[in-house]
Each structure stands twice: as C-alpha cells, then as structure tokens.
Amino acid sequence: MVCLGNICRSPLAQGILELQTRLHGLVWEVDSAGTSAYHVGETPHRLSCKVASLNGIDISKQRARQFCAKDMDYYDRIFVMDTDNLRMVKELSGDRWQPSKTSLLLYVLENTDIQNVPDPWYGEEENYHAVYKLIQAACEKIVLNNITRLK
C-alpha cells in the first residue's frame, strides 16, 4: 500500500487489509510505504490512528518508510492511492518496474468513477472517515477476489 508520506492513507490501508486477511484466515504479509521521505520513522497521522481505532484497528505501531525499488521485486501486489504516486512508484522502481503487479487501489472497485483515494492530510476528521470507507471497500474486494480465485 503506497501513498505520498505513509502517514495517512497507506497506513490505514495496511491496517484494514491486515484485518481483512485475518478475518478470512489468509496469511499475507502486508506493508505500506510512501513515495516521499518526508515522514520516515514517524507514526501515522493522529486522525488516521483515531479512525482506525474507532474501527477496531491499531495502526499506532506502524512507522513511515519510503518505497524503494526492492519493494517491486519483493511484493506480489502493490496498490497505490493515486495517479501521482503511481507515477512516483514507477520512477522509484527504475528498471525493476513491473506494471502487471502495480495498480491504483480503487481499480478493484466496480461501478465507481473515483480513481484516486483523496489525501485527507489537510482536511477535517470526516475526510479520514470517508477515506477509511473507500479503502475498506477496496480491501474487502481484494480479499474476496483472492478467496474466489483460490476455490
């Protein structure tokens, strides 16, 4: 899960997907990163932590890190929160870029015109709740798609 600073959207996405995989008995390694190094080592944004906690998820132990080219080799799937960060993931990946394993997170949702998960950084708490709902819907779809494929 990748966003800009790895303190708002991608930590939420990591926490939500980790919960969904546990609920369905899947053993997946889930991680998050940012395309920038602005917040490396910091905890997620206080409102991301609050919204996650209100939904039964503790993301407070996560620490921001920057996406690196090795991530492209290591992870099976890389979901990115918006088109700007997708472009940055491609740049940061260099010759390791694998478009077949990288996509916008919201592409998994059907019947939506929304392409990007909005960045709640400058918004109020309700923006974080709205982002949570979008990410949750996408993560549920990711898990259900994989369960269906495994059967």
User: For 91-119, how does the pLDDT look when each residue is reduced to its tens digit (9 = 90+)?
Assistant: 999 999 999 999 999 999 987 889 999 99
Give domain status of residue 18, yes or no. yes
pLDDT by 10s per residue, the chain, length 151: 999 999 999 999 999 999 999 999 999 999 999 999 999 999 999 999 999 999 999 999 999 999 999 999 999 999 999 999 999 999 999 999 999 999 999 999 987 889 999 999 989 999 999 999 999 999 999 999 988 776 5
**Is there a catalytic annotation at residue 58?**
no
- 127: exposed, middle or buried (C-beta count within 10 Å: 0-12, 13-18, 19+)? middle
Classify residue 118: in a domain, yes or no: yes
Report how far residue 84's alpha carbon sits from residue 70's, in angstroms, rounded to the nearest whole number: 20
Q: What is the pLDDT of residue 151?
A: 59
Residue 106 domain-assigned (yes or no): yes
User: Which residues, 6 or more positions from 49, have their beta carbon under 8 angstroms from its beta carbon?
Assistant: 43, 59, 60
Q: Is residue 46 flagged as an active site residue?
A: no
Count of domains forming the chain:
1
Catalytic residue among 8, 9, 82, 139: 9
- Among the options 3, 8, 49, 139, which is catalytic? 3
Residue 151 domain-assigned? Answer: no
Residue 94 DSSP symbol? G
Flag whether 49 is in a domain. Answer: yes
With beta carbons less than 8 A apart as the criterion, state whether 34 and 67 touch.
yes
Range of the domain at 128: 2-146
31 is catalytic: no
Burial class (CB in 10 A: 0-12, 13-18, 19+), 58: exposed
pLDDT of residue 113: 86
Token pair belonging to 43? 């905890």
**What CATH number has the domain bearing residue 88?**
3.40.50.2300
Burial (CB count within 10 angstroms: exposed 0-12, middle 13-18, buried 19+), residue 10: buried
H-run or E-run covering 34: strand 33-34
25: in domain: yes
DSSP code for 66: B
From the list 8, 49, 119, 139, the catalytic residue is 119
Do the Cβ atoms of 42 and 7 come closer than 8 Å? yes
